[in-house]
A and B are shown apart, each in its own frame.
Chain A
Amino acid sequence: MTFSYYPGCTLKTKGKDLETYAIKSAEVLGVTMEELEDWQCCGAVYPMAKNEIATKLSSVRALVAARDKGQDLLTLCSACHHVIKRVNNDMANDQNVQLKANNYMALDVPYTGETTVIHYLEMLRDRVGFDNLKKAVVNPLKGVKIAAYYGCMLLRPSKTMAFDDAENPTIMEDFIKAIGATPVVYPYRNECCGGYVAMENNAYATKKCNTICTSAKEMGADMIITACPLCMYNLDANTTENNLPVLYFTQLLARALGVEEDAQ
């Protein structure tokens, strides 16, 4: 199985762990991630304004590059996934965005949202299959209680993201079960960590993250997993009460597949 792969800015810098464990684990599972050439930063937040066009073009370029290779576009960072998937939805359904982006880009073949955007977790669930993942596990994480932190970007708005049930998701808990660990369900798993507001207001993020970590800890979690570098940062660096270890889900995947050390 081969995908076009869009890493995004943070996975080449502060969020390297999210990527290196993902690539190594994918190899074990027979999945090849072909990084797009000359990809551009997605902008990290979806431009909601109907009259924003230029800020969507970097996503369109990635989507076109995958289409031209005849591949689905695999994402890993929650924010990149959110932005690229929603821009793809605009290119398919918003005629204003579609027309203006195509007018500007003057592609040989106009782009109208043909590419399938798939997040790494969806790839594990829908292409590899959690049953097959379970069979590939050599080091089941028995007895480890893991709280999945979904945050916002993967789930909402569910009409476009179509990732999982936005209010009661199960994909990360099913992933945790597949690697042999025990999922801990807690009420704040899909509440915002404070996101980019932490840039100018740390206390605000701390308030959010303390609630999240306290909730996870009270439900008995040993650790928290995430797919988002900004959630990772807030939960790790801006939490002051009931801190728990925060890991990228790909690190535990690599651990369960026996390639955690190879990835380093």
Chain B
Amino acid sequence: MSHNKETLREIVIETAGINPRKCMKCGKCSGACPAYDEMEYHPHQFVSMVEAGKIEELMNSEAIYMCLSCFACVERCPRGVEPASFIEAARLALIRQSGKNHLKAEEIPAKLNDKLPQQAIVSAFRKYSK
């Protein structure tokens, strides 16, 4: 269901457990991000868009599936803002809704190959499906 803008903002901030206003906009997170080129919105933009309440824009962006959860932004943020936690929270705001899974079980067989480790399937499933 759709929430009003302010409720969505509160849910994402509560899920991430971080106050986006701690961000001092240095851009170090995006400078460190190995997925920068793949993302429509970059880590520093995630933080400021959450602060501004632009959650639906984030939920509708493919960028939420491009984060590698490598924690480079978390490690290097001088303010402990954890942009990755906001990306995760925006993705969860979407996939916690029924029928909004990004990766479905029936898609898995076609993706298997001889070398693919279980770890890849489990982790993608945990990231993309609820």
Contact = CB atoms under 8 A, between A and B. Distances in A.
B70 A49 contact: no
Nearest to A192: B70
Contacts of A77: 119
B124 A196 contact: yes
A79 B34 contact: no
Interface of A is mostly: loop
Interface residues of B, number: 37
Nearest to A230: B119
Contacts of B15: 49-51
Nearest to A13: B118
Interface of B is mostly: helix
**How many residues of A sit at the interface, in one of the four size bands?**
35 or more
A47 B74 CA distance: 14
A20 B69 CA distance: 29
B57 interface: no
Interface of A: 8-10, 13-15, 41, 43-51, 55, 77, 79, 152, 155-158, 166-167, 191-192, 194-200, 204, 208, 228-230, 232-233, 236-237
Interface of B: 14-17, 34-35, 38, 65-66, 68-72, 74-75, 82, 84-85, 88-89, 92, 103, 111, 113, 115-124, 126-127
14 contacts: A9-B122, A44-B122, A45-B123, A48-B82, A50-B15, A55-B126, A156-B75, A157-B71, A191-B72, A192-B35, A196-B120, A196-B127, A197-B65, A229-B117
